[in-house]
Amino acid sequence: METKRTDIASLGEFGLIEHLTKALKPLNHSTVLGVGDDAAILDYKDKQVVVTTDLLLEGIHFDLTYVPLKHLGYKAAVVNFSDVYAMNAQPKQITVSLGLSKRFSVEDIEALYEGINLACSKYGVDVIGGDTSASYTGLTISITCLGEGDKETIVRRSGAKPSQLICVSGDLGAAYMGLQLLEREKTVFKGETEFKPAFEGKEYLLERQLKPEARKDIIERLAENDILPTSMIDISDGLSSELMHLCKNSEVGCRIYEDRIPIDYQTAVMAEEFNMNLVTAALNGGEDYELLFTVPIELHDQVAAIEGVRIIGHTTEKDLGAALITRDGLEVPLKAQGWVAPM
Amino acid sequence: METKRTDIASLGEFGLIEHLTKALKPLNHSTVLGVGDDAAILDYKDKQVVVTTDLLLEGIHFDLTYVPLKHLGYKAAVVNFSDVYAMNAQPKQITVSLGLSKRFSVEDIEALYEGINLACSKYGVDVIGGDTSASYTGLTISITCLGEGDKETIVRRSGAKPSQLICVSGDLGAAYMGLQLLEREKTVFKGETEFKPAFEGKEYLLERQLKPEARKDIIERLAENDILPTSMIDISDGLSSELMHLCKNSEVGCRIYEDRIPIDYQTAVMAEEFNMNLVTAALNGGEDYELLFTVPIELHDQVAAIEGVRIIGHTTEKDLGAALITRDGLEVPLKAQGWVAPM
């Protein structure tokens, strides 16, 4: 059976945007007017607004050999939501701009939007605008996300003080291992027309790479337990790099403990298979989209009781710098690897 | 003398963003926190927020053979401001995401940002965030603009009623003629290493193409004279196309008069030189960034008295459709040409 392939030019730019967004009903009170005017109109009343943006380029941030368009759309939306949660705010609206080469059909873009819309409906976010344009090469996705928070509870990177607890949600390094796995299978399948590798027993790694989630649940649990982090950041470029951002912005140092870093069993198995250093993967892997945050030491018991959160160390005075304490008790200075995350 | 050329990789992504934005002080009270966290923080208090976004791709929207990077940055910002003014709102913040191939140096991006910052300081807008990324091909610019307006005075495309006056600011077709001129000179200079054509007497056309302005002044004059348009749109894709959007969204028809369409003298001279139909250029040329709006007929005298605004026709019942009345009194149906504007 042949796949249907409708030329984008047959709908035109206006037709395409209408086609993709006509089914969308606003989910939020703050969305006054969505797609269809010179600009969208929002009303946040007494809330503060947070804004974040991400540009994703084919070949740099994603490889369509092994990333289905629906997954790509889902992930492109979710990584923006993650930035908003990292402010202790709630994502409410996104704009989506697409640059499309002739390689892409209307059905392709429908698949991409299926993923975007799925993420939006799961996280309660409205698509309020965007732009589609022809492109000479590949696929370009630019998403801007707006969210809302209360002035008193929005959390920045800069609020940590010395001697506070450093916490992280979920586990680290799995998305990076998922990427290694996909890259390896891609090499194996080079030249074959269909990419159908066997990934049994490694589903978690693939899911973390291809369909990450933003930690809305952690934000909710913290609020339920009256825990307001003093600083927070999401882990997109690796724990090490994000921890250094947090320390720099807060003007503190830190000590984290190797044996406290949360790592999933599949991640460990895969690291051994690839003969890679597991801790390095967890520290520098990137694309975890977990939350890294600090809390006052008085909240130790409350935060330790939250499922899915691990205390991995503590902040120090600034002049002590940022370091990892290994299992052997050695102190190793942390380095930001400046990981440019593919997706 | 050689031009200085610093490799972008030498600064890194974080270094580059810091380098480009460190000198910026917020101009607006609503900008609580700009670049440097997971998201920017804004506080609009009792205002409504408008949001618009534009994606610009090299080779599709602009040609760096004849567009200096500083001008490109200026224009990329201003076209977004224009969308905000078209809502009768004020632009306040932008995010800027850039995809950069290896062809571009730090100095190139500084030139681009010089233009962006110039536009921002002229229009009172803050750069609050963004993203820079490597790219395999060319330059990608994605800008999202946020603005504020009062709930009671934000103007949509959909508010026109039959028998209202249709008004347009400035003059039309000049930016399109500027583009034709640049394209012609580009062909003439093909193969030469320096692009130094003579443009004497045609400065206005080039300025309209290379350094357009958003009509903040018109929005201010309308407010000063207590004129609240019933509908408004900015003219980016040509008068004809925008008028049809406005009519469709407002569910009205329209009649505009050929002899009322404002055209500059240089535009007319150039059309003759190119042997092009002048009215077609004014109707379909695109990139004018003028304002098209409707007002109740009772406001005729007030609106007619505003410098830089021309009444070009009136709305009708929907079933009469959209048409141009020629100088000979013929009624010609308007067509949307769906002009994809290069810049």
Query: Residue B224: which CATH number?
Result: 3.90.650.10
Q: Domain ends where: B96, B123, B149?
A: B149
Q: Which residue segment(s) compose the domain that B144 sits in?
A: 8-149
How close is the nearest chain A Cα to the Cα of B5, in Å?
23
Q: Are strands B90-100 and B126-134 parallel, antiparallel or unpaired?
A: parallel
Q: Domain ends where: A98, A117, A149?
A: A149
Residues in B touching A36 (Cβ below 8 Å)? 157, 249
Q: Domain ends where: B149, B174, B192?
A: B149
Domain count, chain B: 2
The Cα B264–Cα B290 span in angstroms is 13
How close is the nearest chain A Cα to the Cα of B184, in Å?
22
Residues B71 and B24 in one domain: yes
B74 forms beta bridges with none
Q: In what order do the strands lie in the sheet with A331-333?
A: A231-235, A290-295, A165-169, A309-316, A253-257, A322-325, A331-333
The Cα A262–Cα A249 span in angstroms is 24
> Would you give per-residue pLDDT tens digits along chain A (343 residues)?
456 788 777 766 556 777 777 767 888 999 998 888 889 999 999 999 999 999 999 999 999 998 999 999 999 999 999 999 999 999 999 999 999 999 999 899 999 999 999 999 999 999 998 888 888 889 999 999 999 999 999 999 999 999 999 999 999 999 999 999 998 888 776 766 666 666 788 999 999 999 999 999 999 999 999 999 999 999 999 999 999 999 999 999 999 999 999 999 999 999 999 999 999 999 999 999 999 999 999 999 999 999 999 999 999 999 999 999 999 999 999 987 644 433 3
Is residue B125 included in any domain, yes or no?
yes
B90, B148 Cβ separation under 8 angstroms? yes
What's the pLDDT score for residue B196?
65
SS3 annotation, B283-301: HHCCCCCEEEEEECHHHHH
Determine contact: B153 vs chain A, CB below 8 A.
Answer: no
- Residue whose structure tokens are 């066997």: A198
- Between residues 223 and 262 of chain A, which touch chain B (CB distance below 8 Å)? 232-234, 249
Residues A116 and A208 in one domain: no
CB atoms within 10 A of CB A257: 16
Task: Say which CATH number the domain at B106 has.
Answer: 3.30.1330.10
- Between residues 161 and 200 of chain A, which touch chain B (CB distance below 8 Å)? none
Determine contact: B136 vs chain A, CB below 8 A.
Answer: yes
What are the pLDDT digits (tens) for A114-139?
999 999 999 999 999 888 888 888 99
A93, A125 Cβ separation under 8 angstroms? yes
Residues B35 and B117 in one domain: yes
A265, A330 Cβ separation under 8 angstroms? no
What's the pLDDT score for residue A82?
98
A49, B49 Cβ separation under 8 angstroms? yes
What is the rounded (10 degree) CA torsion for A11, A17, A18, A21? Answer: 140
How close is the nearest chain B Cα to the Cα of A132, in Å?
8
| Chain A residue with the nearest C-alpha to that of B94 | A51
The overall pTM is greater than 0.95 = no
What backbone phi and psi angles, to 5 degrees, belong to A147? Answer: -140, 175
Residues B95 and B194 in one domain: no
The Cα A225–Cα A229 span in angstroms is 11
- Residue whose structure tokens are 């005298």: B301
Question: Collapsing DSSP states into helix, strand and coil, what is residue B318?
Answer: helix
Residues A182 and A116 in one domain: no
